[in-house]
Amino acid sequence: MYYIGLLWAEPDGGFSVAIPDFPGCYGTGETLDSAAADAAMSLRMHVYGVLDDGDPLPAPSGPDSIGAAPDGAVAILVPAPPVGMAQAGVTMTEALLAEVDAAAKRAGVSRSAFLADAAARHLSPGESDTS
């Protein structure tokens, strides 16, 4: 599944991507590729957060229903992670768990979404169904 992302060049350099179906879901980067990759990572965290909260994912909007875009923005497709979820028990020290919870809170995501994203970042492409 893919969601539409709106990609534009920033006036001071670099690029940004907004994913309208997920308010607050953005990616940035110095290059087109890095901005698109950052948007995919942000989308992954948003999707996991929505699922962890028990809410349904929004259906991907079509190109005609995206609405206003920043001047010069172009539409790109941003891949969503697979939505099949499985539970896994993990064991860690209380101190590490407190750090994980604090980092997840700063990122505005659940503990599960934070840990899933951290795991996906450390796996090579093709080894994980989350990227």
**pTM of the prediction?**
0.64
- Give the contacts of 107 (CB within 8 A, at least 6 positions apart): 45, 114
Query: Residue 5 to residues 14, 69, 71, 131: CA-CA distances in angstroms?
Result: 16, 10, 14, 16
Residue 128 has pLDDT above 70, yes or no: no
Domains detected in the chain = 2-122 (3.30.160.250)
According to the model, what pLDDT value does residue 89 have? 85
Please, what is the Cα angle at 17 between 4 and 66, to 5 degrees?
Answer: 35
Residue 34 has pLDDT above 80, yes or no: yes
Per-residue confidence band for 131, with pLDDT thresholds at 50, 70 and 90: very low
Rounded mean pLDDT, 113-126: 74
Please give the Cα distance from 83 to 57 (Å, whole number): 9
Neighbours of 69 (CB within 10 A): 15
Lowest-pLDDT range of 8-12, 90-94, 110-114 = 110-114
Phi, psi of 70 (to 5 degrees): -55, 150
